[in-house]
Amino acid sequence: MQFISTRGQSEPLEFSAAVEAGLAPDGGLYLPDSLPDISSKLSEWERYDYARVCFEFMRLFATDYDESELQRIIGQSYKKFADKRIAPLVQLDEKTHVLELFHGPTLAFKDFALQLLGNLYEAQIKRTGSSINVLGATSGDTGSAAIHGLLGKEGVNIFILYPDGRVSPLQERQMTTTGATNVYPISITGSFDDGQAAVKDLFGDLEFKAEYHLSAINSINLARILAQCVYYIWAWLRLPEAARANLEFVVPTGNFGNVLAGWLTQQMGLPVSSFRVATNQNDILYRLFTTGTYAVDDVKPSLAPSMDIQIASNFERFLFYKVGQNPEKVRELMKQMRETGKVDFDAFDPDSFTTSRSEDGDIERLIKEVHERYNYIVDPHTACGFQTLDPDKTSVILSTASPAKFPDVIESAIGIHPTVDSLEKLKTYPIVTYPLPADKEAIRAFIKEHVSSGEKQEEKS
C-alpha cells in the first residue's frame, strides 16, 4: 500500500517511510491511497485479543513490514498496560458505555498510538542505521505519551513543546521528570496552536528536516491515526449485537484526530451510525458542524486543557475526503485558512457527525452528575462526552484520561481527590524544562545546539 499527501504534490511513500516523514514535503498529511474494506473480517476478529486485532488491522497498511516483525512490535507495544483487556468497555446503563483508554503508561489514550509509534521508530532506526530527532507539540497528554513511548530507545532524541501554565501540573511532571538525557521538554509562551504552528514551519523547512532527520509524533503522523482506529473496532466487537444497530461513539476532541480515526473505520465498513464531536469552550469544531464555518478564535484556558485548541490539524484529512479527494481544492482551502483563519463551507454536510460543547461550569456539573448517577468518576475531558447524549442511541463515550491526572478539578466537583501511585511518585522528582518563545528560529537553534555533530554526520551518510 502507498500513502499519498492530502495536497497532492509529494511522491507516494510506503508505510515505514511515511511514518518516519510525519508531515509530507508539500505540507500535507499522509493518507492511504485507498481504504480497505474490513466488514468481512469483523466476525473473525471478534475472537482475538486487543494486540491481535491491532495486528490484523495494521497489516493492511504496513505492507512493507515483515508480518512476524510487525506482530512482535505490536505485541510489545501493549505489554505496559495495567489492564489486561487493554481497552475495557464499561457499561453504565442499558444505553451508555465508557471505553476506558487510560490504562497505558501515562494514563491517557495517546499511549495506544505512541507506545506503538515508539517501537516503529526503533525498528526503523535498526533498519536504516540512522538516528531520529522527534519533534512535536502537545496540549498535555501527547507529550508525556510520546516521551514514555521513546524512553530507552537508542538513536532517538525527543523535543516536545508545551504551553507554559496551560497543562495540568501532573501532565507537566510526566514530561519533565524522566531524568532522561535525550528528552527535551520545551515550555513555550503562548498556546498549543502556537507550538503546533512552529513545528509545522520547521517540518516545512525541508533542508533542516533532512539534515536533522526530524520526525513527527503529533497526530499529523499517520501511524497515530491508524493505531487509534483499532480501539473503535475493539469496542464495537465487545458490544452485544443489539447495541450495535444504532451506535454513536462520543469523542472528546480538540485536534480532530481521535474522532477522525473512528470516522475512517466507518468508511472501511465498521457499522456505526454516528460520531459525536464533544468539545470544551474552545469550540471551533462545534461551530463548524453547527454553522458550516471554520473560524479560528482565541484559545481560552479551560478545565480540560488537552482540548484547548483552535486549529484542528487533522481536519485537513477529513477535508480531503469531503472535497472528493481533490488535492488542488485542499491546497486552496488550506491556503485560505492559513491567510484568513476562516472558511465558509456552502451547504456543509456534517455527514455522520453530531456535536456538543461544554463550558467549565458544565464540566464540573457533568463530573458530579456522572458520579451521583453511576458511582463512576470521569476526568474533565471525558465529562464533556456526557453532554446531551442521544437517548435513542447506544452511546460509547471514549474516556481519554485517568481522573487522577486532574485531581483538583475532581475534588472541586465531588469532594474526592483521586490518586495513582505512579503519579504521586512524580511529585518527588526534580522538574527539568527548557523555556523558549514559540518561535521557529528559537526552536531551530535549540535543536541544533542539542543534536551532536556526530549524529548529523551519521544521518547525512
Distances (CA, A) of 70 to 73, 75, 175: 5, 9, 28
Q: Dump pLDDT digits (tens) for 259-303.
A: 999 999 999 999 999 999 999 999 999 999 898 899 988 888 899
Q: How many CA atoms lie within 13 A of 92 on its CB side?
A: 23
* Residues ≥6 apart with Cβ < 8 Å to 68: none
Going by pLDDT thresholds of 50, 70 and 90, the confidence category of residue 347 is low
Taking residues 413-427, report their average pLDDT.
94
444: nearest Cα among 237, 139, 186: 186
| Residue written as grid cell 449485537 | 241
Question: CA 431, CA 239: separation in Å to the nearest integer?
Answer: 43
Least confident range from 130-144, 162-176, 370-384, 431-445: namely: 130-144
The span from the first CA to the last CA of the chain, in angstroms, equals: 28
The answer to whether residues 225 and 19 touch, using CB atoms and an 8 Å cutoff, is no
Q: Is the pLDDT of residue 461 over 60?
A: no
pLDDT at 452: 66
Helix (H, G, I), strand (E, B) or coil at 327: helix
Of 179-188, 215-224, 227-236, highest mean pLDDT: 227-236
Among the residue ranges 68-72, 197-201, 236-240, 453-457, the one predicted with the least confidence is 453-457
Q: On the CB side of 409, how many CA atoms lie within 13 Å of its CA?
A: 28
How confident is residue 348, by pLDDT bands cut at 50, 70 and 90? Answer: low
Split at pLDDT 50, 70, 90, the class of 168 is confident
Measured CA to CA, the distance from residue 137 to residue 51 in angstroms comes to 28
Pairing of strands 96-100, 89-91: antiparallel
CATH topology of domain 89-107+223-420: Rossmann fold (3.40.50)
Catalytic, 110? Answer yes
Cell output for 121: 521508530
Q: Please give the mean pLDDT across all residues of the chain.
A: 92
What confidence tens digit (pLDDT) does each residue in 392-404 have? 999 999 999 999 9
User: Cα separation of 140 and 106, whole Å?
Assistant: 11
What grid cell was written down for 251? 469523542
Beta carbons of 28 and 8 less than 8 angstroms apart: yes
CA–CA dist 427, 282 (Å, integer) = 30
Angle of helix 67-77 relative to helix 50-58, nearest 10 degrees?
140
User: CA 118, 124, 126 angle in degrees (round to 5)?
Assistant: 110
Q: What are the E-state strand segments in 88-196? A: 89-91, 96-100, 132-137, 156-163, 183-188
CA pair distance 226, 383, nearest whole angstrom:
25
Distance of CA 9 to the CA centre of its chain: 25
pTM of the model: 0.91
Look at the block and give the residue holding cell 523555556: 435
Per DSSP, the residues of 121-144 read: HHHHHHHH---EEEEEE-SSHHHH
Q: 79, 80, 110, 153: which one is catalytic?
A: 110
What is the model's pLDDT at position 152?
A: 78
Which is it for strands 247-252 and 274-279: parallel, antiparallel or unpaired? parallel
Q: What is the pLDDT of residues 18-74, one digit of tens each?
A: 998 888 999 999 999 999 999 999 999 999 999 999 999 999 999 999 999 999 999
pLDDT confidence of residue 158: 93
- For the stretch 379-383, contacts whose Cβ atoms lie closer than 8 Å and that sit 24 or more positions apart, written own/partner, are 379/102, 379/403, 379/405, 379/406, 379/409, 379/410, 380/280, 380/302, 380/303, 380/304, 380/406, 380/409, 381/252, 381/280, 381/304, 381/306, 381/307, 382/98, 382/252, 383/304, 383/358
Give the confidence band of 454 by pLDDT, cuts at 50, 70, 90. very low
* Banded model confidence at residue 216, pLDDT cuts 50, 70, 90: confident
440-450 and 192-204 helices, crossing angle to 10°: 70
Cα 251 to Cα 160, 274, 371, 402, 413: the distances in Å are: 25, 11, 19, 15, 22
Please report the beta strands in 353-422, taking only residues with DSSP state E, as ranges in sequence order.
Answer: 353-357, 394-399
Q: Residue 344 contacts by C-beta under 8 Å, 6 or more apart in sequence?
A: 292, 293
349 vs 433, residue with greater confidence:
433
HSE-CB for 384 with a 13 A CA cutoff: 30
Q: Any idea where the domains of the chain sit in the sequence?
A: 89-107+223-420
Burial class of residue 374, CB neighbours in 10 A (0-12, 13-18, 19+):
middle
Low-confidence winner among 157-161, 242-246, 345-349, 412-416 (lowest mean pLDDT) = 345-349
pLDDT > 90? residue 250? yes
Query: In this predicted structure, what is the pLDDT of residue 130?
Result: 86
